[in-house]
């Protein structure tokens, strides 16, 4: 084989190798292109986060809005009457059976259901009902909900009965009881997260269509 032909072939192969390496280095320096709609998705997420922040600052309305203190008192008394009718009913996780068994959120669901209110099943979901009020017995009203748990999740809920008392399905006593807040124990009191008001007097009560 002629020497000139071999030399030409070697030069050609080296040229192809160098060209490929240069191309690879150039492509690695180029910024990766975003996937289609990535920019749109990022913008939509920012808008969603902004809207969520604004909505969080808007106080939630009461579940039961009334136009007079008399109506408010009647509703609060009704809540307590239904709750007290179940005192002594045994505790069972996941239960919602009047006169037979309740867990904490099952009791809340039953009591409010007697007032024809459809509420969520779990304590964590129920803790978002109504509007938040101060955890101060001087400001709490009978019928307010008291929630307990961690910062991330509410695990227990009860009904404020007035005069520092609470009605709840107790996991330790294994039944529905009415007891003082102070007797709940340091662990539960330490995890008292919020008080929620469901019944309130408002200036204008929307008409039922």
Looking at 6, 20, 124, 168, which residue is catalytic? 168
* Catalytic status, residue 104: yes
Determine whether 20 is an active site residue: no
Q: Which residue in the list 6, 20, 124, 156 is annotated as catalytic? A: 156
Determine the Cα–Cα distance for residues 149 and 127; give it in Å rounded to an integer.
10
Half-sphere exposure of 52 (CA within 13 A, CB side): 6
In this structure, are residues 96 and 159 in contact, taking their beta carbons and an 8 Å threshold? Answer: no
Sheet order of strands, 145-149 included: 96-97, 101-102, 90-91, 175-180, 165-170, 154-162, 145-149, 192-197, 131-133
Tokens 């008399």 -> residue: 70
Specify the pairing of strand 165-170 against strand 154-162: antiparallel
Q: Which helix (H) or strand (E) holds 207?
A: none
Active-site residue set:
104, 156, 168
């Amino acid at each position: 084989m002629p020497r000139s032909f071999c030399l030409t072939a070697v030069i050609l192969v080296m040229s192809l190798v160098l060209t490929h390496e240069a191309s690879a280095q150039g492509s690695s320096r180029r910024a990766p292109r975003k996937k289609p709609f990535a920019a749109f998705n990022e913008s939509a997420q920012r808008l969603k986060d902004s809207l969520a922040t604004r909505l969080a600052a808007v106080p939630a309305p009461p579940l039961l809005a009334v136009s007079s203190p008399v109506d408010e008192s009647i509703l609060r008394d009704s809540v307590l009457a239904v709750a007290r009718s179940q005192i002594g009913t045994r505790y069972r996780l996941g239960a919602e059976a009047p006169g037979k068994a309740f867990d904490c959120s099952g009791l809340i669901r039953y009591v409010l259901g007697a007032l024809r209110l459809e509420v969520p099943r779990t304590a964590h979901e129920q803790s978002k009902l109504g509007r938040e009020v101060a955890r101060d017995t001087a400001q709490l009203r009978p019928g307010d909900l008291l929630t307990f748990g961690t910062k991330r999740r509410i695990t227990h809920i009860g009904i404020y009965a007035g005069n520092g008392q609470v009605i709840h399905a107790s996991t330790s006593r294994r039944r529905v009881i009415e007891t003082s807040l102070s007797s709940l124990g340091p662990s539960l009191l330490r995890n008292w997260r919020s008080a929620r008001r469901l019944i309130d007097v408002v200036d204008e009560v929307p008409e039922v269509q």
